[in-house]
């Protein structure tokens, strides 16, 4: 990642800096644990597969045995330990005047605004990992072909329900 101190007066890697600069609220910090566990579930099978490949192929053909295994587990460990907290911090949202704003990512940052009146229907979902941490995700459906669903993860379950009610009220008042 490149240095962008000129664009942002604060350290872009600092927690909350990006969201604060754009007037967004952060998602629940516990979401980083959800991301970490999900990453773990993805990384461990890949690392095991790499180990098996190393054992079965690289050793047989006399290649640098052990390199692939070490690399896979190292990268997996980095992905599990270092990145989830950072990824979680880069999610931001704002319930504004009649609109929901959701921002995500840094290298490729996308900042979506969905006006409540354009919402077709709303889902609040909770996966097993999210349930451990008392989190939910909110999915907003629009009729647009691009962005037909906008997902906002990492919300405390009560907040997600409250947001759903807020949006639902707007839909009702505007189409009553």
Partner 1 sequence: MSDGSAALSSDAAPADTDADWQRLHPATLALSIVRLGPRTVNFLPALAAIGIAGKWVYVLPALGVFLLLSLAAAWLAWARFRFHVGADEIAIESGIFARQHRTIPFDRIQDVSIEQGLIARALGIAKVGFETGAGGDKKDEARLDSIGLDAAQALRRTIRAHRGGAVPAAVAPVAGEAADAAGAAGEDRLLFAMTPQRLLVAGLFNFSLAALAVVGAAMQLFDNLLPFDFNIFNPVDWFDLAERYGLEQWVTAHRWIAGVGALISLLFIGFASGVLMMVLANWGFRLAREPRALRRTRGLTTRTDVALPVRRVQAAILVTGWLRQRFGWHELRLQSLASDGETEKDHQVVPFGRLAEIDPVLAEIGMARPPAEQPWQHSHRIVALGGFVGAGIAALAGAGTIAFGQPLGWIALGAALLIAAGAWISAHFHGWTEIGEMVAIRSGWLKPKTTLLPFASVQSADLSVDFILRRFGMATLVFGVPGGSALGSHEIPAIPRAVAEALRARILAARTRP
Rule CB under 8 A: which residues touch partner 1?
1-2, 4, 7, 98-99, 107-115, 117-118, 142-148, 150, 175
Least separation in angstroms between CB 71 and partner 1? 25
Nearest to 155 by CA among 141, 169, 134, 140: 134
- Residues 89 and 49 sit within 8 Å (Cβ to Cβ): no
- By C-beta, is 33 or 104 nearer to partner 1? 104
Least separation in angstroms between CB 151 and partner 1? 13
- By C-beta, is 108 or 172 nearer to partner 1? 108
The C-alpha atoms of residue 61 and residue 39 are separated, in whole angstroms, by 32
- By C-beta, is 7 or 56 nearer to partner 1? 7
Q: Rounded to whole angstroms, what are the CA distances from 6 to 12, 83, 89, 119?
A: 10, 24, 21, 37
Least separation in angstroms between CB 142 and partner 1? 4
């Amino acid at each position: 990642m490149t240095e962008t101190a000129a664009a942002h007066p604060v350290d872009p890697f600092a927690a909350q800096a990006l969201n604060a600069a754009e007037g967004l609220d952060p998602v629940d910090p516990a979401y980083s644990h959800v991301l970490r566990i999900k990453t773990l579930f993805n990384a461990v099978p890949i690392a095991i597969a790499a180990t098996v490949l190393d054992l079965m192929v690289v050793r047989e053909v006399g290649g640098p045995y052990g390199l692939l295994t070490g690399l896979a587990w190292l990268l997996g460990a980095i992905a599990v330990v270092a990145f989830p907290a950072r990824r979680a911090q880069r999610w931001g949202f704002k319930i504004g005047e009649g609109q929901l704003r959701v921002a995500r990512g840094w290298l490729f940052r996308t900042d979506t605004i969905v006006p409540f009146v354009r919402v077709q229907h709303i889902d609040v979902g909770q996966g097993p990992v999210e349930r451990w941490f008392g989190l939910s995700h909110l999915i907003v459906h629009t009729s647009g072909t691009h962005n037909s669903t906008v997902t906002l993860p990492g919300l405390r379950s009560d907040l997600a329900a409250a947001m759903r009610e807020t949006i639902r009220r707007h839909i009702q008042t505007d189409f009553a």
